[in-house]
Structure 1
Amino acid sequence: MTVNTLQTYLVNVLGCKVNQYDAQQIEQLLERYGLEKAEQSDDADVIVVHTCGVTAAAAQKSRQTIRKMQRNNPLAHVFVTGCAATTELTDVGQDPVFRVPAGADWIQRLDEQLSALAMPEQHGIKGIETDTFTISRFGDHTRAFLKVQDGCDIGCSFCSIPQLRKEPRDKAIEDAVKEATALTEAGYREIVVTGVSVGLYGRGRGSSLAEMLRHLVEVPNMGRIRLSSLHPGELTDELLEVWSSHKNIMPHLHLSLQSGSNAVLHAMRRGYTAEEYYDAVERARAALDNPAFTTDVIVGFPGETDTYFDESYDFCKKVGFSQMHVFTYSPRPKTMAAKMGHQVNGALAMQRSEKLRELGETMAVDYHRQFLDAEVDVLVERVQDGIATGYTPHYIPATFACAEENRNQVTPIRVAEATASGISGINSL
């Protein structure tokens, strides 16, 4: 009997920057087996759904995506990878043919399962570790993510990621530099340094995120460098010194807050107080050029009273975030918070979330307005119908009229309008 050789693949990715990076590793692994990328799921012989499980909504979306892929293409080999590739996804209907949960060796396990299929070639990554399997492209983007760290052991009471991603582990500096060099040579104008808890980089090994940055800024023709989410305790003086010394490290900090109430922060096991968080903000403002602060806030955490919510609301207003991601608390399996008493009524939590989102929009407008009539640089990510979209150094979405050839170029604009969603202006060239 003749075995039909598989020819095409499709990767469907959900979730964070780390997952977006992982998806690039998956694509390049599949292409080592000789597969070509399909335009849609109906045409794919191999489908990988790289899932997210950080919230109940994310896990549900992962389930829906898996069902859709199976329904659209019942003959495809479906792989489920990522943070939700656990027993949480047992109710997806037709069980996935392959399941590869997150962890230190997840891509090796995926490689082993792929090698058992009838592939055009057998050039997998046997013998190559996950963190040394570097990427050389990041799709049709102007910004490329560079994962230098994975795993977490901070132990927040609401978070299941330490169970899923396991213990912290780092990419060697020489491997990160090699990867950043390849991405820069491929034409990417911004490198986003990311990880599950990127500020833990180098802990216990005599290194640090600051040391990593010192090497990355030396990469020839390196454009912008941007850092992903930091824990406030990871914003060290050493890191701020390196940051302030290199203008191509963007003045934008995603500094996770989760709550502005000390009582709730303690219950969350975040490891800092609101006062310590604010001290980190003030140290960053003193060191950097009018930095933008974006953040995550959880509303409706178990035990959050009206008073605690008001404390959190007032604290967010005091900081003056340029953007807030507001999440209504949802219990995650096997976490301490899921077992806590005094769970907040869902309707009340939604009301509080809406109130905080409205504050977020007001703060965004206030932050964006300070750039009115100023000239700012925008890295153009796409141009459609003569309108460019991209981001400023402070991570403000920007739009303006320009030609197609401006794509992937840093272009100065004069800011003419500011709204909660971003700015618009006129090309200054």
Structure 2
Amino acid sequence: MRFYIKTFGCQMNERDSEKVEAILEENGWQKSDDPKTADLLIVNSCAVREKAENKIYSEIGRLRFKNRKAKIVAMGCVAQFAYDRLSKVADIVIGTNTIDEFCRIAKDYSVEGVFIKDKMEEPDHIFPHVKSVVSFVDIMYGCDNFCTYCIVPYTRGREISRKKEAIIDEIKELVDNGTKEVVLLGQNVNSYGKSLGYNFVDLLYEVNKIEGLKRIRFTTSHPKDFSKELIYAIRDLDKLCEHVHLPFQAGSNRILKLMRRKYTIEEYLEKVFLLKSEVKNCSITTDIIVGFPTETENDFEKTLEVVKTVEYDTSFSFKYSPRRFTKAAEMEGQIEEDKKLKRLNILQQLQAEITQKKLKEYEGKIVEVLIEGKSKKGDKLYGRNRQNIVVNVDFRDNIKAGDCLRVKITKALKHSLIGEPI
């Protein structure tokens, strides 16, 4: 039996798809890159924006046209709340908290139906991984923040932290199977452990002790929970990479309050400045929303000022998209689409200039690169430096995935670097 899987969305979705892939392969299924040859067609959906949500329906239609004999599985965030609609176009609908149902599907191809639960019943369960140099590890599920624009608490449920013992055991097993870097995942990793009396910084110190592990990353951080202790951990722990993803979303305090972000831009910048002073060569990336309800030109200019002040290595910026269940969707003062697009273009042009300047500064420098595999750029290998920037290096017989190299950067591209091993 063969399966094909298409994934939309964030690292959490990527990890969920990996769980599915590993479950099926452990039960004798083979992965196919061609949907025409598959018996099971799986679409893992994202609901963070309307455009992302609509992709699952168009993708299911595309797959159904290519292969009418295969069963179709709709899973992920859209499946969690739009299961009634999806059940009309898919044979199986699986929510974010019922991925374990793939164990049943793997053994019994006749399974059909809708499988939805409000919460993860066994958060400490260790799902299998596909062997890789870099591995995602869930440390918590769900979110309690209820930002007024965000649908995640409704698709992922309330926060549940996994016990540290389960996390450590999972990482040790990964290292034994060749993983060199782990990325700790959560909708808000900084709030990990609140229900356990054990915090995120404590966990980082424990993970840093694991023998054979070379690097640790984490995502995503919420600024309100981004502590001095975490900054000091990034400074002091040798395996913890100098890269932080810290979404600020908007530069206007008025808009931040409407978003229910629970910090001011002054508080945010104070943490960024401390991070920059304590952690040398730290790259900072962010998320930004433009066109939130009632956003004025002055509000937007404040967002641009933050980008100029911080000089993010890169940013992920989006037009505000009304999402069902959220407070912002009901707000007055919705911004016209053409105005949103204009602001987004201005913001992305500014970020492109900053990104290019910062990448150019790497030319001639020597960086540490963890090789992950073959590059799409010709006869090269690729990996990332500690700042999470992709580096392409010339292929050599004595270099393999998992090697940690010193690389001299020879050229900056639009979003990546080229270098020579030394």
Q: Does the pair score TM above 0.5?
A: yes
What are the superposed Cα offsets for residues 321-342 of structure 1, whole Å, 9 maximum, x if unpaired? Answer: 0001110111111211111111
Q: Tell me if structure 2 keeps the 8 A contact 1:52–1:83.
A: yes
What is the Cα deviation at residue 357 of structure 1?
0.5
What is the Cα deviation at residue 297 of structure 1?
0.3
Q: Tell me if structure 2 keeps the 8 A contact 1:67–1:92.
A: no
2:93 aligned with 1:102, yes or no? no
What residue is the counterpart of 1:402 in the other structure? 395
What is the Cα deviation at residue 200 of structure 1?
1.7
What is the Cα deviation at residue 419 of structure 1?
4.3
What residue is the counterpart of 1:131 in the other structure? 123
2:253 aligned with 1:253, yes or no? no
2:221 aligned with 1:221, yes or no? no
RMSD: 2.2
Classify 1:217/1:331 alpha carbon distance in 2 versus 1 (closer, same or farther; 3 Å): same
Q: Structure 1 unaligned runs (5+)?
A: 1-6, 120-127
Classify 1:35/1:427 alpha carbon distance in 2 versus 1 (closer, same or farther; 3 Å): closer
Cα distance in 1, alignment partners of residues 80 and 128 from structure 2: 29
What is the Cα deviation at residue 118 of structure 1?
4.6
What is the Cα deviation at residue 423 of structure 1?
2.3
Q: Tell me if structure 2 keeps the 8 A contact 1:12–1:48.
A: yes
What are the superposed Cα offsets for residues 197-222 of structure 1, whole Å, 9 maximum, x if unpaired? Answer: 22221013211111111111111201
Cα distance in 2, alignment partners of residues 69 and 132 from structure 1: 34
What is the Cα deviation at residue 185 of structure 1?
1.7
Q: What is the aligned-residue identity percentage? A: 25
What residue is the counterpart of 1:122 in the other structure? none
Cα distance in 1, alignment partners of residues 356 and 302 from structure 2: 22
What residue is the counterpart of 1:26 in the other structure? 20
What is the Cα deviation at residue 190 of structure 1?
1.4
2:53 aligned with 1:59, yes or no? yes
Q: Which amino acid aligns with 2:214?
A: G
How many residue pairs align between the two structures? 411
Q: Which amino acid aligns with 1:71?
A: F
What is the Cα deviation at residue 188 of structure 1?
1.9
Q: Which amino acid aligns with 2:349?
A: E
Worse overlay, 57-66 or 416-425: 416-425
Worse overlay, 190-199 or 293-302: 190-199
Q: Tell me if structure 1 keeps the 8 A contact 2:164–2:203.
A: yes
Q: Tell me if structure 2 keeps the 8 A contact 1:382–1:390.
A: yes
Q: Tell me if structure 2 keeps the 8 A contact 1:24–1:135.
A: no
2:202 aligned with 1:208, yes or no? no
What is the Cα deviation at residue 404 of structure 1?
5.1
Q: Which amino acid aligns with 1:218?
A: K
- The equivalent position to 1:232 in structure 2, one of 223, 235, 243, is 223
Worse overlay, 182-191 or 295-304: 182-191
What residue is the counterpart of 2:189 in the other structure? 198
Classify 1:356/1:179 alpha carbon distance in 2 versus 1 (closer, same or farther; 3 Å): same
Cα distance in 2, alignment partners of residues 256 and 306 from structure 1: 21
Q: Tell me if structure 2 keeps the 8 A contact 1:386–1:404.
A: no
What residue is the counterpart of 2:115 in the other structure? none
Q: Which amino acid aligns with 1:406?
A: I
TM-score w.r.t. length of structure 1: 0.90
Q: Tell me if structure 2 keeps the 8 A contact 1:383–1:403.
A: no
Cα distance in 2, alignment partners of residues 405 and 263 from structure 1: 56
Worse overlay, 363-372 or 177-186: 363-372
Cα distance in 2, alignment partners of residues 18 and 87 from structure 1: 17
Cα distance in 1, alignment partners of residues 419 and 108 from structure 2: 54
2:305 aligned with 1:314, yes or no? yes
Cα distance in 1, alignment partners of residues 58 and 239 from structure 2: 40
Q: What is the DSSP-based 3-state SS (H/G/I as helix, E as strand, rest coil) of the residue aligned with 2:123?
A: helix
Listed as ranges, the matches of 1:34-183 within 5 Å are: 34-86=28-80, 88=82, 95-103=89-97, 106-111=98-103, 117-118=109-110, 130-139=122-131, 141-183=132-174
What residue is the counterpart of 1:16 in the other structure? 10
Q: What is the DSSP-based 3-state SS (H/G/I as helix, E as strand, rest coil) of the residue aligned with 1:107?
A: coil
Q: Tell me if structure 2 keeps the 8 A contact 1:145–1:191.
A: yes
Q: Tell me if structure 1 keeps the 8 A contact 2:205–2:237.
A: no
What is the Cα deviation at residue 289 of structure 1?
2.2
2:297 aligned with 1:297, yes or no? no
What residue is the counterpart of 1:417 in the other structure? 411
Q: Which amino acid aligns with 2:196?
A: R
Cα distance in 1, alignment partners of residues 63 and 192 from structure 2: 36
What residue is the counterpart of 2:116 in the other structure? none
Cα distance in 1, alignment partners of residues 234 and 299 from structure 2: 34
2:421 aligned with 1:427, yes or no? yes
What residue is the counterpart of 1:4 in the other structure? none
Q: What is the DSSP-based 3-state SS (H/G/I as helix, E as strand, rest coil) of the residue aligned with 1:406?
A: coil
Q: Tell me if structure 2 keeps the 8 A contact 1:8–1:46.
A: yes
Cα distance in 2, alignment partners of residues 129 and 184 from structure 1: 27
What are the superposed Cα offsets for residues 71-99 of structure 1, whole Å, 9 maximum, x if unpaired? Answer: 22222222211101155476669621111
Cα distance in 1, alignment partners of residues 122 and 357 from structure 2: 43
Q: Which amino acid aligns with 2:49?
A: T
Cα distance in 2, alignment partners of residues 209 and 75 from structure 1: 47
What is the Cα deviation at residue 286 of structure 1?
2.5
Q: Structure 2 unaligned runs (5+)?
A: 112-119
Q: Tell me if structure 2 keeps the 8 A contact 1:253–1:294.
A: yes
What residue is the counterpart of 1:388 in the other structure? 381
Q: Which amino acid aligns with 1:249?
A: L
Q: Tell me if structure 2 keeps the 8 A contact 1:364–1:419.
A: no
Q: What is the DSSP-based 3-state SS (H/G/I as helix, E as strand, rest coil) of the residue aligned with 2:78?
A: coil
Classify 1:87/1:371 alpha carbon distance in 2 versus 1 (closer, same or farther; 3 Å): closer
